[in-house]
Amino acid sequence: MPERWDPDAFRARVDGVLWNFLDEEARLLVAVDDSLAPVAEQLRTSARHGKRLRAAFCYWGWRAAGQPESDALVRAAASMELVHAAAVVHDDLIDDSPLRHGLPTAHVALEAVLVRSGGHEARAAARSLAMLVGDHLMVLAGRLFTTSGLPAAYLARARDLWAALARELVAGECLEILHTGGRPDTGTSLKVVRYKTAKYTVEHPLLMGGLLAGAAPALRDTFRDYGLPLGEAFQLRDDLLGLFGDSRRTGKSGLDDVRGRRPTALLAETWQAADDSQRQWLRGLLGRDDLDGGDLRDLRGLMLELGAPQRIERMITARVERAVRALDTARTPPHARRALRELARHATDRTH
């Protein structure tokens, strides 16, 4: 790739890697038995969407450490997107979310297939199948990484980080489940954000690329100082878009987090600023299955009145500034610093 980074060209490269890899895996699955075709199709479609930010952070972790352009590294970086695809399938299943990118989620799509085929207990079977799709995607992430073409000695440098990535991702999802429906608390919400999303979105991919490249300890510290606050800012933006974004662009309902009583920082900031009567109203709203557009409008109005979205915006701004400042003293090629600054903007200044 040229020194001037082209995000669209990079996304196309990663898409090509993922689609070819998953097409082959789906073919092998169907070769076991034709009845596995719906499961194979979910493997194919699981990674069809996305901005490929995680792959991009891995790529620039490698380049920031002074390594040259590498097709093998792009394959290794693409494995980060399969980690994300696995997390999304599991997250949608846990939250019982019906839509992702405006399309049926894996368990919903599989249920529709089973209903058409006349299968008994279609919902339970579809949820079990979706869980296995997510599990298989995580396994495939490791396979794509280890067969990327990078030398074995390079791959060995990242072995412990793979274990930490999986552990902390699971820990974050567990924390969200354990705190769902509990008293909203900003500190708790930020801890969930950190482990469920922030680390595997920015910090871990960036460190993965750096470790593969043999980055020095000081540079790895820079990656952490940049990656963690930026990952948190990414998810805080996602929480804002979940309630205040255009569902036609986000591809999911604006009321999902409210119905699920998920411990978002936005809800916690609203709760903290609310008086007793407002909290009583929130209690009656959270967890209801029959919420509609009017409820969404009223909730947005209360949040704006209490200044919660504005405080989340300030949190985002402060974290992005902290992340970008971490690059100022980094001994990395100028084109890598430019790309990482651009990625910081791309990850947090978005509408979907």
Give me the pLDDT at residue 258, please.
85
Residue 188 lies in a domain: yes
- Could you give the C-alpha distances from 155 to 13, 21, 310, in angstroms and in order? 21, 19, 43
Is 105 in a helix, a strand, or coil? Answer: coil
On the question of pLDDT at 249 being above 50, the answer is yes
On the question of pLDDT at 2 being above 60, the answer is no
Its domain, for residue 145, covers 7-348
Residue 99 parent element (H or E): strand 99-100
Give me the pLDDT at residue 289, please.
84
What percent of the chain lies above the pLDDT cut of 90?
Answer: 81
**331 token code pair:** 């001994």
Residue 116 lies in a domain: yes
Per residue in 132-168, pLDDT (tens digit) is 999 999 999 999 999 999 999 999 999 999 999 999 9
Mean pLDDT, residues 62-91 taken together: 97
Residue 103 parent element (H or E): strand 103-104
Give me the pLDDT at residue 157, please.
97
Nearby residues of 195 by Cβ (< 8 Å), 6 or more positions away: 168, 169, 171, 172, 175
Q: What angle do CA 208, 238, 289 make, to 5 degrees?
A: 125
What is the DSSP secondary-structure string of 148-161? SS--HHHHHHTHHH
CB atoms within 10 A of CB 108: 20
Which pLDDT band holds residue 247 (cuts at 50, 70, 90)?
confident
Report which of 293, 265, 292, 267 is spatially closest to residue 279, judged by C-alpha positions: 267
Contact predicate 3/335, CB 8 Å: yes
User: Could you tell me the CATH number of the domain that includes residue 218?
Assistant: 1.10.600.10
What percent of the chain lies above the pLDDT cut of 70?
Answer: 98
Phi, psi of 46 (to 5 degrees): -60, -35
On the question of pLDDT at 217 being above 60, the answer is yes
Dihedral angle over CA of 115, 117, 118, 120, nearest 10: -70
In one-letter notation, the amino acid at residue 289 is D
Contact predicate 79/142, CB 8 Å: yes
Residue 100 parent element (H or E): strand 99-100
d(CA 172, CA 176): 6
Mean pLDDT, residues 205-217 taken together: 97
Q: What angle do CA 313, 314, 320 make, to 5 degrees?
A: 90
Residue 1 lies in a domain: no
Residues forming a β-bridge with 20: none
What is the DSSP secondary-structure string of 273-313? H--HHHHHHHHHHTT-S---HHHHHHHHHHHHHHTHHHHHH
CA quadruple 36, 38, 40, 43: dihedral sign? negative
Residue 135 lies in a domain: yes
Per residue in 5-51, pLDDT (tens digit) is 899 999 999 999 999 999 999 999 999 999 999 999 999 999 998 89
Q: How many domains does the chain have?
A: 1
Give me the pLDDT at residue 3, please.
62
Contact predicate 257/242, CB 8 Å: yes
Give the pTM: 0.94
What is the DSSP secondary-structure string of 158-190? THHHHHHHHHHHHHHHHHHHHHTTS---HHHHH
Residue 104 parent element (H or E): strand 103-104
3-state helix, strand, coil split of the chain in percent (to 5) is: 75, 0, 20
Give me the pLDDT at residue 1, please.
46
Q: Is 149 left (phi over 0), alpha (psi -120 to 50) or beta?
A: left
